[in-house]
Amino acid sequence: MIYRKLGPSKIDVSAVAFGAWAIGGWMWGGSDEQEAIEAIHAALDHGISLIDTAPIYGFGRSEELVGRAIHGRRDKVVVATKCGMVWDREEGEFFFHSSQEGITLRASDKKIYKCLRPESIRAELERSLKRLGTTYVDLYQTHWQESTTPIADTMATLMKLKDEGKIRAIGICNANLMQLAEYGPIDSNQEKFSLLDREIEQDGRLAYCRRTGVGVLPYSPLANGLLTGKIRPDRQFGAGDLRRGNRRFSPAGIEKVNGMLDQLRPIAEQHRCSIAQLVIAWTYSQPGITSVLCGARTARQAIENAAAGDVALSAEELETIGATVRV
Ligand SMILES: NC(=O)c1ccc[n+]([C@@H]2O[C@H](COP(=O)([O-])OP(=O)(O)OC[C@H]3O[C@@H](n4cnc5c(N)ncnc54)[C@H](OP(=O)(O)O)[C@@H]3O)[C@@H](O)[C@H]2O)c1
């Protein structure tokens, strides 16, 4: 496993991280608690040191599972969580309706607001600390950006929380270039980035982070599992699974991506690795990338993803992979 500094912070993180969204069950058709805890233990036992979660992932469930899994080994784990998506108050900017399973169009379901107001952030952090069973969060990130709170107020709150020792580093997610620049001295930026999702490469956000030393944490690097090459065209996704009804996961969409991935098999065979491992290694090898947030639901997946941290690709292989798989 490769370890890297998280932006300007003094925190070391593994180049492959554990993403804890799916284990919360929300938007993923549910999850199994025991399997989730075993997945986190397997990740930590195989060199992964960074776990990324959020309160909204199962309305507290993902954070609780992470808390249970890291009990007794807190000091060996870099815990990243988030603020700014609330379901217990109607403040900030309305985002969407959601049931316990996932996003809906029913006005009678929970209302999710984006809210980065100072008192809301403080209240959210206290609840996250309780669920995670810890007194501090290593990396605290604004989950989505919103228009009703000035970024300067949000940033001032995060700086105060850092001074108070409740958080060790500050990160943001889902920010455009202007918002990124307005935040000032942050440690990391978390954005969607994979072989199939290259926007941050094209719109200057990745280059900005490289230039300013801000760490970059790509999310959905496996395109929600599609880039593992293991999803067959006849795969049925359960109720509430975000992949159900998604065009990318239609039989034709799956076949198209699997066809591109098949062209990478000779490179994977040379490295004795799986397609998922090749894709993860490509992602953490891109200049400016710090740690790739790989979602996993089982110990087997977590171990496979962690081992991608040992796949060293040549410049030529990186170029071939990047040119072969794209939308
Ligand atoms: N800040 C944000 O707004 C934001 C948004 C999205 C994600 N994230 C973060 O990024 C993390 C990762 O993103 P993601 O969960 O969307 O997608 P991902 O990492 O692209 O895909 C994860 C899914 O792929 C499948 N998978 C993973 N490893 C596998 C393996 N080795 N073999 C076969 N299948 C495998 C699993 O689903 P199945 O087993 O069901 O197929 C897993 O749930 C999240 O957990 C979260 O921490 C953040």
Domain boundaries, the chain: 3-86+116-229+279-312
Angle between helical axes of 118-132 and 61-70 (0-180°, round to 10): 50
Predicted local confidence at residue 184, as pLDDT: 87
Atom of ligand 1 nearest to the CA of 222: 20
Intervals of the chain under pLDDT 70: none
Sign of the alpha-carbon torsion through 222, 224, 227, 228: positive
Could you give the C-alpha distances from 120 to 42, 94, 164, in angstroms and in order? 34, 15, 17
57 is annotated as an active-site residue: yes
Cβ atoms of 94 and 85 closer than 8 Å: no
Q: Is 219 in the pocket of ligand 1 (CB under 6 A)?
A: yes
Cα(219) to centroid of ligand 1, in Å? 8
Amino acid identity of residue 313, one-letter, is L
* Residue 57 contacts residue 26 (beta carbons within 8 Å): yes
* Under 8 Å between Cβ of 269 and 311: no
By percentage, how much of the chain surpasses pLDDT 70? 100
Confirm or reject: Cβ of 31 under 6 Å from ligand 1.
no
Q: What is the CA radius of gyration of the chain?
A: 19
The tokens for 305 are 């993803």
Report whether CATH 3.20.20.100 matches the domain 3-86+116-229+279-312. yes
- Give the helix/strand (H/E) hosting 45: helix 33-45
Q: Which of 57, 113, 183, 219 is catalytic?
A: 57
Q: Which residue has the tokens 């599992």?
A: 225
Among all chains, which residue has been given the structure tokens 């030393």? 213
Length reported for the chain: 327
Judge if the beta carbon of residue 291 lies within 6 A of ligand 1: no
- Residue of 301, 305, 311, 325 with the most ligand 1 atoms within 8 Å of its CB, for mutation: 301
pTM of this structure: 0.98
**Ligand 1 contact, 24 CB (< 6 A):** no
DSSP letter string, 163-179: HTTSEEEEEEES--HHH
171 CA to centre of ligand 1 in angstroms? 20
Residue nearest ligand 1's atom 14 by CA: 220
Token code pair at residue 121? 């952030």
pLDDT tens-digit readout, 28-78: 999 999 999 999 999 999 999 999 999 999 999 999 999 999 999 999 999
| 127 and 152 Cβ atoms separated by less than 8 Å | no
Measured in angstroms, how far is the CA atom of residue 222 from the centroid of ligand 1?
6
Residue with tokens 């794209």: 326
SS3 state of residue 294: strand
Residue 188, strand partner residues:
171, 215
